[in-house]
Amino acid sequence: MRDSQLSVDELLAKLEVKLREEMAKRDLHNPAMIGIHSGGAWIAEKLHACLELREPLGLLNISYYRDDFSQIGMHPQVRPSNMPFRVEGRDIILIDDVLYTGRTIRAALNEIFDYGRPAQVVLGVLIERDGRQIPVQADCIGGRIELGPNEKIKLSGPTPLVLNIHSSLAA
């Protein structure tokens, strides 16, 4: 999958189907959905509506939980997380836009557990790429991509949602 094939709508539709299958397989009843700020939150908003979930959407800003916080610093416009439901004992669907190193998901799980111990967490990502540094695997994905060592993929939005591949090499 490369540039011309990165249709967010197609990836969202595939991810929705996979989530429905996983929800049935794991017998999730009244799951709560959490999106990781910012791209994961945009994807979660769309999936939350498609899946007709009853609970309001939760949003995580994992800035304080990142293991590279001391290296990258704090973004001046950090927004707080919003968890409008009880996490303890709940089935949770965690959504992010791109699964790359696994560090964002690790940070998100740390924050979720600060709210309580969920019964189970299903991880859904719009796109999974190579380059894992931590053993994290998505349960449901919209698509996969392999990128070169100097390439990055980024979701821009919220309207429209567009996936772009960028090279960090100077042209």
Question: Does a structural domain hold residue 162?
Answer: no
pLDDT at 74: 54
24 lies in some domain: yes
Q: For residue 158, is it within any domain?
A: no
pTM for this entry: 0.90
For the chain, the domain total comes to: 1
Considering the domain boundaries, does residue 163 fall inside one? no
Q: Is residue 22 part of a domain?
A: yes
pLDDT at 67: 61
What is the C-alpha to C-alpha distance for residues 63 and 67, in angstroms, rounded to an integer? 9
CATH number of the domain bearing residue 32 = 3.40.50.2020
Confidence at residue 2, expressed as pLDDT on a 0 to 100 scale: 46
pLDDT in 10s for each residue of the chain, 171 residues: 444 346 999 999 999 999 999 999 999 989 999 999 999 999 999 999 999 999 999 999 998 675 655 555 555 456 789 999 999 999 999 999 999 999 999 999 999 999 999 999 999 999 999 999 999 999 999 999 999 989 999 999 999 999 999 988 755
Report if residue 115 sits inside a domain. yes
The pLDDT value given to residue 29? 85
What's the pLDDT at 5? 47
Q: What pLDDT is stored for residue 112 in this prediction?
A: 97
Q: Is residue 102 part of a domain?
A: yes
- Residue 65 confidence (pLDDT): 72
Alpha-carbon distances of 73 from 38, 53, 76, 110, 153, rounded to whole Å:
17, 35, 9, 19, 21
Q: Which domain holds residue 95?
A: 8-71+78-146
